[in-house]
Amino acid sequence: MASLADTHTPGAHGHSSLQHQFDTMEQQKESSTLGMWVFLVTEIMFFGGLFLAYVAYRTRYPEAFAAASHTLDVTMGAVNTAVLICSSLTMALAIWCAQTNRRKGIVLFLLLTILLGAVFLGVKAVEYADKFEHHHVPGASFQFHTEGGHTGAEDPNLAQHTQLFFSLYFVMTGLHATHMIIGIAILGFLAFYAWRGRYDREYHNPLEMTGLYWHFVDIVWIFLFPLLYLLGAHAS
Amino acid sequence: MNTHAAAEPLVTPGPETAFERPNYLNAAYGLRSWLLTRDHKRIGILYLISISVFFAIGSLFAFLMRLELLTPEGDLVQPDTYNRLFTMHGVTMVFFFLIPSIPAVLGNFLVPLMIGARDLAFPKLNLASWYVYNLGAIFTLWAIVNGGVDTGWTFYTPFSTSFSNTHVVSTALGVFITGFSSIFTGLNFIVTIHRMRAPGMTWFRLPLFIWSHYATSVIIVLGTPVIAITILMVAAERLLHLGIFDPKLGGDPILFQHLFWFYSHPAVYIMILPAMGVISELVAAFARKPIFGYKFVAFASMAIAVLGFLVWGHHMFVSGQSIYAGTVFSILSMLVAIPSAVKVFNWTATLYEGSISYQTPMLYALGFIGLFTLGGLTGVMLATLGIDVHVHDTYFIVAHFHYIMVGGAIMAYLGGMHYWWPKISGRLYPGFLSKLSALLVFVGFNLTFFPQFILGYLGMPRRYWAYPPEFQVLNVLSTAGASILGVGFALPLFYFIWSMRYGKRSGDNPWGAVGLEWDTTSPPPTENFYTMPVVTHGPYEYNREEVHNRMTEEKTLG
């Protein structure tokens, strides 16, 4: 009994990608899909803790949060939102190529997705650098100068409380960016395997699963963008 | 199923040929074949080794604490050391022993066997979970070796984030990383139970062990990510001084308590639900009756999983939360008693007119029912606002949760280990010694923790290294009980290891139990079944005729 090697033993239905514990390709696919959705549920709960902290402090210090939010660059955030939505489209197109047996198309669209993800991270890096320049990074050198309109009359510790906003900003976007980096790494592997011709109409589970993950990361940003960038925008 | 008649394991050696058959143990040899295995049964064994090490470490801390508390003066260790002892005891026992114990060892081994699958849905993820567990363990061990942590296992802020001078970050990272191993296991169970059941294995033919593991997995998947992000925030706060939990910077330490208990209360159910699943199997097998009210017990598991998420505020009755929040959390906490009581009543009803045999696993199961009931009833007391304020942070709390976690979870874990050991190893363990161990654990446990109920009610606070002299008698009793308990826990370790080489061969089904796991050979082959099972009936078909046969058999043997 080769307990080590039997993972890739072809099952009853013969496809080389059928793992030994499954009876059919369909069962294998259903299982990985369900597994991915359960994983995404854990991701929702993971980010949920941060969203809870955000809600708690935004409710407590609305002025400071609005003031801090004003310093973020809405244009860059909006561009990044568009970039991410496009990357979700290219991800979906890569899967469509697999479903229709367009092997070169899979590689092309995966690479495009990676490119768009990299653009997003690049813009994010520019924004982070800007925070460092303006001393908006929480810690010893944190400074916040209140602008006109925010006299600090209602919240005498406004400058200090903006630090909470930036703390959450960095933790939330940082965690999101970490997910992007992991996603890009996975996409790199997928592109390599797709180039080697591993995926076709019958078997492209990894593409679909990564697609779910990528769309999820995209959706997290769809929530982060208004919560962080568009806060109190009507007041200015 | 030709060994149904066997009842007393000591007199029923299985066919000598049984061991020659290929099984998961002799499928491959060498360290590599274990460290790279994807077989859920072998991974269960790997987990067994890892968590046993942590159980020993956690017990050592408990032992030192009980020694310190033998006398009222703080004479054995420094107060600072004592703080570290109870913290490391809590951290290792909760995160590195209790949470993985039944699911990662027995669940890993049995879930595919019980539902008629060749393996879990994601064998590689399963192996990864063991490595992730050990990675987290290394971080925590590093912290222990370098002097430990003194925050309490609850890591309360702002002490943990701003004031403690101990290894908070590495311990927290260890817990964070190990959390992923539970997520992997829970995710694997959910998918496996949904998608890998044998033909005919409908949801209501699932053994209750599977139902309770399903409920546990749901809690793991929903709760663990929240503690993960919370711990991440604590670490970030400590390293970067963000201010999220620091009142000086506008942060709120109570937010930490909310996030922490949102996971850590359901975590109690991660520990006790699998234990309840084990007990359902044991009670049915040794009373020779189908579980009374199967569907009620199954749905009670799900109800506990759901309600468990709505009661975290009962840990915060004195945190300054509003009286309305306190009242709601109090009522919701009492509601959890309903599904828990449903289970206890149904086990009792199963015993009624059952043909009970007092084998070792059954002794543990009966011990569980009594101790869990006591732990649960004191839980209802604590859910009452007035009483909780009185006994908050006293030994009453310590006694209460040890009745659930040791008297409940560990009793069931040991009962389960004794029940399925012949399946795991193909061997029998000594009958007298194992019954002695069950007795020692029961007696030792009660002697250790019952005095603590009284101590707490009289007002002895928890987490102090010294105490007023009038509490000494009860503390001496408690320490004496702990030493008996220690012997009770050590015995199985020795005779299980002994039995692997010298134990009699058990045959496939030494208990004459029903269930798919008993339909295959002991130990099972790598693929679990020689012919994949087709299920045509419910999980506990212990029929009258068979009981009769077994009883006459026992007479001729006795």
Tell me the CATH number at B498: 1.20.210.10
A164 in contact with B at a CB cutoff of 8 Å? yes
pLDDT for A140 equals: 77
| Local structure of B394: helix, strand or coil | strand
Q: What is the mean pLDDT of residues B426-438?
A: 95
Top-confidence residue, A232 or B381: B381
- Does A154 map to a domain? no
On whether residue B111 sits in a domain, the answer given is yes
State the pLDDT confidence band at B544, using cuts at 50, 70 and 90: low
Tell me whether residue B460 is in a domain: yes
pTM of this structure: 0.92
Do residues B155 and B173 lie in contact, with contact meaning Cβ atoms separated by under 8 Å?
A: no
**Residue B243 — very low, low, confident or very high, per pLDDT cuts 50/70/90?**
confident
Written as six digits, the tokens of A41 are: 């549920």
Average pLDDT on B87-91 reads: 95
Nearest chain A residue to B241 by CA distance is A139
Which range is least confidently modeled, A2-16, A115-129, B35-49, B201-215? A2-16
Query: Sorting pLDDT into bands at 50, 70 and 90, what band is B249?
Result: confident
Structure tokens, B416: 């389960």
Beta-carbon separation of B236 and A171 below 8 A: yes
The predicted pLDDT at position B22 comes to 86
Q: Give a yes or no: residue B2 inside a domain.
A: no
In a domain, B1, yes or no: no
Length of chain B: 558
Residues B363-388 have a mean pLDDT of 95
CA dihedral of residues A47, A48, A52, A54 (deg, nearest 10)? 30
Does residue B418 lie within any of the structural domains?
A: yes
Q: For residue B154, tell me if it sits in a domain.
A: yes
At A123, which CATH number?
1.20.120.80
Chain B residue with Cα closest to A24: B196
Calpha distance B153→B144 (Å, rounded): 13
Give residue B9's pLDDT.
44
A160 inside 8 A of chain B by CB: yes
Q: Is A154 on the interface with B (CB under 8 A)?
A: no
- In A, residues 131-150, which contact B (CB 8 Å cutoff)? 138-140
**Which of the 8 DSSP states describes residue B310?**
G
Q: How far is CA B216 from CA B140, B186, B305, B451, in A?
A: 24, 7, 7, 31
**Is A150 part of any domain?**
no
Gap between the Cα atoms of B14 and B523, Å rounded: 12
pLDDT at B58 over 70: yes
Contacts with B249 from chain A: Cβ below 8 Å: 160, 163-164
Q: Check pLDDT > 70 for residue B555.
A: no
Spatial contact of B139 and B174, defined as CB atoms under 8 Å apart: yes
> Looking at chain B, which residue has its C-alpha nearest residue A36?
B187
> What's the confidence (pLDDT) of residue B12?
43
Give A 67-126 residues with CB within 8 A of chain B.
none
In a domain, A19, yes or no: no
Cβ separation A56–B252 shorter than 8 A: yes
Task: State residue B548's pLDDT score.
Answer: 54
Question: Which chain A residues are closer than 8 Å to B196 by Cβ?
Answer: 21-22, 27, 31
Contact A138 B243 (CB under 8 A): yes
Q: For B248-361, where are the E strands, in sequence order?
A: none
User: Is residue B505 helix, strand or coil?
Assistant: strand
State whether residue B196 sits within 8 Å of chain A by CB.
Answer: yes
B472 — pLDDT class (breaks 50, 70, 90)? very high
**pLDDT tens digit sequence for B265-280:** 999 999 999 999 999 9
Identify which has the larger pLDDT, A145 or B135: B135
Q: Which residue of A has its CA nearest to B527?
A: A21
Q: Please report whether residue A51 resides in a domain.
A: yes
Spatial CA neighbour of B2 closest among B431, B554, B508: B508
Tell me, yes or no, whether B328 lies in a domain.
yes
Report the domain count for chain B: 1
User: Is B118 touching A (CB cutoff 8 A)?
Assistant: yes
Radius of gyration of chain A (CA): 22
- Partner-chain contact B37 A4, CB within 8 Å: yes
Using the predicted structure, report yes or no on whether residue B557 has a pLDDT greater than 70. no
pLDDT at residue B174, as a whole number: 95
CA dist B385 and B332 (Å) reads 12
What does the radius of gyration of chain B's CA atoms come to, in whole angstroms? 23
Size of interface A-B (CB pairs under 8 A): 146
Closest chain A C-alpha to B284 CA, distance in angstroms: 30
Identify whether A34 is part of a domain: yes
Buried b (16+ CB within 10 A) or exposed e, B27-36: bbeeeeebee
Residues A19, B241: C-beta atoms closer than 8 Å: no
Residues in chain A: 236
Substitution target in A167, A168, A170, A182 with the highest count of B β-carbons within 10 Å is: A167
Q: Is residue B341 part of a domain?
A: yes
From chain A, pick out residues whose CB is under 8 angstroms from the CB of B527.
Answer: 20
Q: Please determine, for residue B41, whether its predicted confidence score (pLDDT) is greater than 80.
A: yes
Range of the domain at A120: 24-137+163-235
Does B191 contact A at CB distance below 8 Å? Answer: yes
Q: What is the pLDDT of residues B158-197, one digit of tens each?
A: 999 988 889 999 999 999 999 999 999 999 999 999 999 9
Domain count, chain A: 1
Distances (CA, A) of B224 to A209, B83, B140: 22, 26, 18
User: Coil, strand or helix: which one is B489?
Assistant: helix
Considering only CB atoms, B121 lies closest to which of A35, A41, A48, namely: A35
Mean pLDDT throughout B454-480?
96
DSSP-derived 3-state class of residue B529: coil
Q: Mean pLDDT, consecutive 10-residue segments, chain A of 236 residues?
A: 38 68 91 96 95 94 90 93 97 96 94 97 95 85 69 69 92 96 97 93 93 97 95 60
Smallest CA-to-CA distance from A2 within B475, B33, B353 is with: B33
Closest to B157 measured CA to CA, from B248, B27, B54:
B248
Lowest mean pLDDT among B160-164, B291-295, B442-446: B160-164
Share of chain B above pLDDT 70, in %: 94
On whether any CB of chain A is under 8 Å from the CB of B233, the answer is yes
B242 touches chain A (CB under 8 A): yes
Residue B119 scores a pLDDT above 60: yes
B222 shares contact with chain A (CB less than 8 Å): yes
